[in-house]
Amino acid sequence: MDPRQLQLDDEGRLKHFLTTDGLDRALLTEILDRAEGFLGVARQAVKKVPLCRGKIIANVFFENSTRTRTTFELAAKRLSADVLNLNISTSATAKGETLLDTLRNLEAMNVDMFVVRHADSGAAQFIAEHAAPFVSVINAGDGSYAHPTQGMLDMFTIRRHKGAFEPLIAVIVGDVLHSRVARSQIGALRTLGAAEVRVVAPRTLIPALAEEALGVRVCANLDEGIRDADVIIMLRLQRERMNGAFLPTEHEYFQLFGLTEQRIDKAKPDAIVMHPGPINRGVEIDSAIADGPRSVILEQVSNGLAVRMAVMSMCIGTQNLALSTAHRPAEVVEGGAGAATETGAKLEAETEAQIATDAKLLEPGLEADLTGQSRLQRWSQLGPQLAGQPEPDSRRDASLDQTSLEQTSLDQTSSNQDGTLHG
Amino acid sequence: MAERRLSIQQGRIIDPATGLDQINDLHLIGGRIVAIGAMPDGFEPQRIIDATGLVVCPGLVDLCARLREPGLEHKGTIESETRAAAAGGITTLCCPPDTNPVIDTPAVAQLIRRRAKTRGQARVLPVGALTKGLAGLQISEMAALKEAGCPAVGNADRTISNTRVKRRALEYAATFDLTSFLHPADHDLSEGGLVHEGRVSTQLGLPGIPEAAETVAVARDLALAEQTGARVHFRGLSTARATEMLAEARSRGIAASADVSAHQLFLTEDDLYGFNANAHVIPPLRTQRDRDALRAAVASGAISAICSDHRPHEPDAKLAPFPQTRPGISALETLLSLVLELVADGVMNLSSALARVTCNPAEILNRTTLGRIEVGARADLCLFDPNERWRPTPEHWLSQGQNTPFFGRELHGRVRYTLSNGRLVYERA
């Protein structure tokens, strides 16, 4: 299926986040703006917002990962979701269970969102195609295809430092052939309008027809590739590439493609250095650079949290909108429809009251103007200003507001007013 | 079903082997064609088929169709797949030796032929293994395999990376006048690959199979054919460059032939977008330029046969992330329609197109009595309506494998009757 159709609902809202391919600039900007709002959550006394309260988010990792899984877990918890962590690589598949079986089992537990990492390109899309309605899928890295939240957190980091994308020259150095991170970065940079994207690596690590297929300029020489660059992204070099006849030695690789103090002089003076981590010091990057003033590597990690919160809350918001307009058969319980509705309404009222109480705890002393919506909107208004960005287009913005209204459902009346005021 | 005397009246009889193309009657007795035109004296048909508006051509000869029996009956059986073949107008098909057990002993070859005779709806010719267990190390008992009815030998999709073994295998096969079917892929260059290495593999992050995987293998095998004088047949070319190499070698008199899988003439790497598992095939779908060159090579005759490359699968084989899916298309029921599509696209005239699925493959198999309409010949016939438009759907699909990218696609021309050995094995009102 066309990934664009799959990822968006009929109104163009994000339902799954599988790849940056096929998503337009407005939507990517919306993700960045929203993440800007969430950045503040970490600085609050209570580091939580109730946007995914009552939702179950399952981190389903078919490939080992600690860092990515941890940031997803933390993002989900800050959104007040319940989190399940499943490392499938060692359990189910070893017993011969198919991916679809694993998926059905988790759906039977009424999971609302899967965060999936898998060694096969296209795995996240496969899961999204076969997931039940009202279940969102977020790709946490599939094969060599995509790692869109990493791509977006890198865009977020770039925007915070550089503002507009249009004048930027970005260079990606390293194993582009096997890198899902590079593919997502390239896709996002091009959609967001970067002036030029270059990739630098020996020919063994550049995929076929990269210029045509990815819209990048290929450089075999780091000095040439780095010239006048605003953003330098170093990719991790997997040690196993040494065995597959891709590279002769780490030593020669570092000599030719490692980022050092001398080399970085060719870039713009204010160039930033990024790395998706974990870094190999002395293989792709000199410690002096990794720890130096141009490095934004640790900032990428903090930003990752905000971007993942943004994407997760957007997908859950789209789900909630769909849920509010569609009847969900699973909600029919024994004891007759009337009783079920009554209990349901009562529960909902209690939940809302609880959420409203929680909201007051968020920023003590500021209860007066506090509803989750107005706060969120302040963030999303603030975001672009902080980054020196133009406002996103109003149509998109309006739909964003509606999404956030539905998902927080703190106070229906005031949120509607907020929505109209903002739109 | 078992009428001994049958007349097919007023069909457009096309026999590419003899160049026959006329509207006429055809009369059969006991599985053989006894007359074309006027009814023989005293002939009283037990059944008359009105073929007005239909084309009557030889039953199709398919050089590569996996029936999955023995060993993989959850994907298909000789019974189910030959029924699908009959619905596709195919009356003779070759099954490659990668069954389980492998067709490397006369017993397995005989088992397949026996089962096809008792339960099948088409003639099944097993291709014998070129090497024992298809392992590429030890040549097989090819004389015994020929004796057991194998018209050719091959190594299915398994590569023979040891060039010395391959040379000996080709020489040994040539001793018994057996054609060797070769899978044109270099082992090391194709290992681990899934799709054509190019624009789409780069965008989707899927491991690629470079063009050179095919050209290196074809270059090597052509050199071996030239050295040994053995007859080789490339089973399923996919690149423009390999077709050029083949044409050049043939012009120098090297005994090499080739076929192409029908889907390669229609699909390209672009069909992979969205990780479409039904476009996962071996060899991989390549570029538009390759597709056009394959069409041109089929038209020029450099590639002399088109086959279905039928590979039925159970649903689970395609229900997984792309890299985990099994390659192949369930293709018996669309072969003729796709060949007719080439005529509609102006690639070839009808008679030349039909030659690619009748007399030409029969010639490659050295079975020149097959794939033709002649007085005295066995009545393997396909009657199709060249103007009927249809869309394949799962509900009307006979193969056990429903893995096809052509479901829902409008096709032109459809089989109405198929006769195998004079027996009506498929009929559609």
Token pair 């869309």: residue: B391
Interchain contact A175–B (C-beta under 8 A): no
How distant is the alpha carbon of residue B355 from its chain centre?
A: 13
The residue ranking higher by pLDDT, A397 or B358, is B358
User: Which residue is listed with tokens 């929203």?
Assistant: A34
Cα B169 to Cα A234, B140, B158, B180, B181, distances in angstroms: 50, 8, 14, 9, 11
Lowest mean pLDDT across A400-404, B114-118, B333-337:
A400-404
User: Mind telling me the catalytic residues of B?
Assistant: 309
Nearest-by-Cβ selection for A183 from B199, B205, B319: B205
Using DSSP bridges, classify how beta strands B32-36 and B20-29 pair: parallel, antiparallel or unpaired: antiparallel
Residue A415 within any structural domain of the chain: no
Q: Which CATH number fits domain B5-56+377-427: 2.60.120.580, 3.40.50.620, 2.30.40.10, 3.80.30.20?
A: 2.30.40.10
Task: Please indicate, yes or no, whether residues A207 and A101 belong to a single structural domain of this protein.
Answer: no
Asked whether the beta carbons of residue B320 and residue A98 sit closer than 8 angstroms, the reply is yes
A209–B202: do the CB atoms touch at under 8 Å?
Answer: yes
Q: Among B191, B275, B326, which would you mutate to test the A interface (most chain A Cβ atoms within 10 Å of its Cβ)?
A: B275
Residue B368 pLDDT > 70, yes or no?
A: yes
Q: Which residue of A lies nearest to B203 if distances are taken between CA atoms?
A: A213
Question: Which residues in chain B touch residue A121, judged by CB atoms under 8 angstroms apart?
Answer: 204-206, 275, 321-323
Dihedral, CA of residue B293, residue B297, residue B299 and residue B304, to nearest 10:
-150
Q: Which residues have C-beta within 8 Å of that of residue A409, sequence separation ≥ 6?
A: A320, A352, A355, A415
Residue-number span of the structural domain to which A64 is assigned: 3-148
Residues of B in contact with A120 (CB under 8 A): 321-324
Lowest-pLDDT range of A215-229, A232-246, B219-233: A232-246
Amino acid letter, B389: R
A208 with B199: Cβ contact below 8 A: yes
Q: Does residue A417 have a pLDDT over 50? A: no
| B22 interfaces chain A, CB cutoff of 8 Å | no
Q: What is the pLDDT of residues B45-83, one digit of tens each?
A: 999 999 999 999 999 999 999 999 999 999 999 999 999
- The beta-carbon neighbor of B320 closest among A1, A99, A142 is A99
Average pLDDT over residues A250-264: 93
Phi, psi of B126 (to 5 degrees): -75, 135
Domain ranges of chain B: 5-56+377-427, 60-364
- The yes-or-no verdict on residue A381 having pLDDT over 80 is no
Measured between alpha carbons, how far is A376 from A141 in angstroms, rounded to an integer? 28
Interface test with A, best of B324, B325, B326 (most A CBs within 10 A): B324
| Cβ–Cβ under 8 Å, residues B217 and B186 | yes
Contact residues, chain A, for B275 at CB < 8 Å: 121-122, 125-126
Comparing A386 with B47, the larger pLDDT belongs to B47
Give me the helix-helix angle, A372-387 and A148-162, nearest 10°.
60
Shared-domain flag, residues A164 and A205: yes
Cα–Cα distance measured from residue B151 to residue B103, given in angstroms and rounded to the nearest whole number: 12
What pLDDT shows up at residue A416? Answer: 37
Q: Do residue A127 and residue A211 come from a single domain? A: no
pLDDT band per the 50, 70, 90 thresholds, residue A239: confident
Q: What is the pLDDT of residue A67?
A: 87
- Is B201 exposed, middle or buried, given 0-12, 13-18 or 19+ CB atoms closer than 10 A? buried
Per-residue pLDDT at A161 exceeds 50: yes
CB B319 to CB A100 under 8 A? yes
**CA-closest candidate to residue A247, choices A189, A281, A311, A204:** A204
- Give the pLDDT confidence score for residue A336 in this predicted structure: 47
Residues 229-288 of A with CB under 8 A from B: none
Q: Flag whether pLDDT at A405 surpasses 50.
A: no
Could you read off the pLDDT of B208-220 as tens digits, one per residue? 999 999 999 999 9
Among chain B residues, CA nearest to A98: B320
- A172 and A224 co-located in one domain: yes
pLDDT above 90 as % of chain B:
97
Residue A274 β-bridge partners: A233
Of A122, A183, A214, the CB nearest to B322: A122
Residue A88 has pLDDT above 70, yes or no: yes
Where helices occur in B137-279 by DSSP H, the ranges are 142-147, 163-175, 187-190, 199-204, 211-228, 240-251
User: Is B206–A145 a contact, with Cβ atoms under 8 angstroms apart?
Assistant: yes
Alpha helices in A10-164 (DSSP H): 25-38, 67-78, 99-107, 123-130, 148-162
Secondary structure E strands in B64-177: 90-95, 123-126, 128-129, 152-154
Contacts of B324 in chain A (CB under 8 A): 99, 120
Mean pLDDT of A354-382: 45
Are the beta carbons of B274 and A1 separated by less than 8 Å?
yes
A284 in the same domain as A198 = yes
- pLDDT at residue B29 in the model: 94
B72 inside 8 A of chain A by CB: no
Q: CA of B406: how far to CAs of B295, B310, B333, B366, in Å?
A: 19, 13, 10, 32
* Confidence band of A160 (pLDDT split at 50, 70, 90): very high
Chain B residues with CB-CB distance to A214 below 8 A:
202-203
Higher pLDDT, A46 or A273: A273
Closest residue by Cα to residue B74 from B104, B37, B93, B100:
B100
Strand (E) or helix (H) holding A394? helix A394-408
The reported pLDDT for the residue numbered A359 is: 55
Output the CA–CA distances (angstroms, integers) from residue A340 to A275, A323, A332, B267, in the order listed: 52, 16, 7, 53
Q: Express as a percent the part of chain B with pLDDT over 70.
A: 100
Q: In sequence order, what are the residues at sequence separation of 6 or more whose Cβ sits closer than 8 angstroms to the Cβ of residue A344? A: A331
Judge: B321–A1 Cβ closer than 8 Å, yes or no: no
Q: How many residues does chain A have?
A: 423
CATH code of the domain in which A250 resides: 3.40.50.1370
CB B159 within 8 A of CB B186: yes
Assess whether pLDDT exceeds 80 at residue A374.
no
Element (H, E) at B57: strand B55-58
Contacts with A, B 321-340, CB within 8 Å: 321-324
pLDDT at A421 over 50: no
pLDDT tens for each residue of B221-272: 999 999 999 999 999 999 999 999 999 999 999 999 999 999 999 999 999 9
CA-based nearest residue to B243, from B272, B214, B267: B214
Instruction: Give CA–CA dist A44/A52, Å, rounded.
Output: 18
Burial of B396 (0-12, 13-18, 19+ CB in 10 A): exposed
Question: Which residues have a Cβ under 8 Å from the Cβ of A254 and sit 6 or more positions away?
Answer: A282, A283, A284
Q: What is the pLDDT of residues A54-85, one digit of tens each?
A: 999 999 999 888 889 999 999 999 999 999 99
Q: Do A122 and B321 touch (CB under 8 A)?
A: yes
pLDDT in tens, B324-341: 999 999 999 999 999 999
- What is the per-residue pLDDT for A181? 97
Closest residue in B to A141 (Cα–Cα) = B205
Residues A31 and A166 occupy one common structural domain: no
- Tokens found for residue B418: 């198929």
Judged by CB atoms closer than 8 Å, whether chains meet at B274 and A125 is answered as yes
CB contact under 8 A, A213 and B273: no
Is residue A184, in this structure, part of any structural domain at all? yes
Which of B195, B197, B201, B203 is the mutation pick for testing A, counting most A CBs within 10 A? Answer: B203
CB B278 within 8 A of CB B331: no
Nearest to A387 by CA among A35, A24, A11: A35
Kindly report the average pLDDT of chain A as a whole number.
Answer: 81
Q: Say which residue, B227 or A241, is predicted with more confidence.
A: B227
pLDDT, tens only, A320-346: 998 887 755 544 444 444 555 555 565
Cβ contacts (< 8 Å) between B200 and chain A: which residues? 213
Tell me, yes or no, whether A247 and A201 share the same domain.
yes
| Spatial distance between the Cα atoms of B30 and B26, rounded to a whole number of angstroms | 13
Q: What is the percent of chain A with per-residue pLDDT over 90, rounded to a whole number? A: 59
Token pair in block for residue A160:
């915070």
CB-side exposure of B277: number of CA atoms within 13 Å? 22
Q: In which band, very low, low, confident or very high, does the pLDDT at A124 lie, cut at 50, 70 and 90?
A: very high
Which pLDDT score is estimated for A4? 72
Residue A63 counted as domain residue: yes
B288 inside 8 A of chain A by CB: no
Map residue B251 onto helix, strand or coil.
helix
Which among A98, A208, A212 has CB closest to B197? A208
Whether chain B has a CB inside 8 Å of the CB on A22: the answer is no
CB contact under 8 A, A121 and B324: no
- Domain assignment present for residue A84? The answer is yes
Q: How far is it, in rounded angstroms, from Cα B30 to Cα A118?
A: 60
Residue A378's pLDDT is what?
Answer: 43
**Strand bridging mode B20-29 / B5-15:** antiparallel
Contacts of B374 (CB under 8 A, 6+ apart): B15, B17, B18, B33
- Chain B residue numbers touching A3 (CB-CB < 8 A): 274
Q: Give the residue with greater pLDDT, A194 vs A400.
A: A194
Name the domain boundary from A277, A298, A319.
A298
In angstroms, how far is the first alpha carbon of chain B from the final one? 15
Question: Do A78 and A40 belong together in one domain?
Answer: yes
The secondary structure of residue A208, as a DSSP letter, is T
How many contacts (CB atoms, under 8 Å) link A and B? 76
Chain A nearest C-alpha distance from B397 (Å): 23
Residue A213, chain B, CB below 8 Å: the answer is yes
Longest dimension (CA), chain A: 75
Number of domains in chain A: 2
Q: Is residue A314 part of a domain?
A: no
Of A148, A168, A187, the residue at which a domain comes to its end is A148
Sign of CA dihedral A146, A148, A151, A154: negative
- Gap between the Cα atoms of A267 and A262, Å rounded: 10
A383 Cβ under 8 Å from any chain B Cβ: no
Q: What is the reported pTM? A: 0.87
A46: pLDDT confidence band, cut at 50, 70 and 90? confident
**B residues 192-211 closer than 8 Å to A (CB):** 197-208, 210
**Residue of chain B whose Cα is closest to the Cα of A181:** B205
B332 and B85 Cβ atoms separated by less than 8 Å: yes
Strands B256-261 and B232-235: parallel
Q: Are residues A67 and A179 in the same domain?
A: no
Q: Does some domain include residue A105?
A: yes
Instruction: Quote the Cα angle for B129-B257-B328, to 5°.
Output: 60
Residues 103-132 of A with CB under 8 A from B: 118, 120-123, 125-126, 130
**In A341-363, which positions are buried (b, 16+ CB within 10 angstroms) versus exposed (e)?**
eeeeeeeeeeeeeebbebbeebe
Q: Is A142 an 8 Å CB contact of chain B?
A: yes
A214 and A120, same domain (yes or no): no
Regarding whether A87 and A15 lie in a shared domain, the answer is yes
Q: Give the architecture-level CATH label for domain B60-364.
A: Alpha-Beta Barrel (3.20)
Pairwise CB contact (< 8 Å): A146 & B319: no
Segment A377-398 shows an average pLDDT of: 42
Q: Which of chain A's residues have a Cβ under 8 Å away from the Cβ of B199?
A: 208-209, 212-213
* Three-state SS sequence of A295-347: ECHHHHHHHHHHHHHHHHHHHHHHHHHHHHHCCCHHHCCCCCHHHHHHHHHHH
Q: In this structure, are A224 and A112 located in the same domain? A: no
Q: What is the pLDDT of residue A60?
A: 93
- A209 contacts on B by Cβ (under 8 Å): 198-199, 202
Is residue A204 within 8 angstroms of chain B, CB to CB?
Answer: no
Residue that the structure tokens 């997803």 belong to: A72
Query: In terms of Cα–Cα distance, which of B187, B178, B175 is closest to B137?
Result: B187
Contact status, residue B47 vs residue B57, Cβ threshold 8 Å:
no
Task: Give A 294-313 residues with CB within 8 A of chain B.
Answer: none
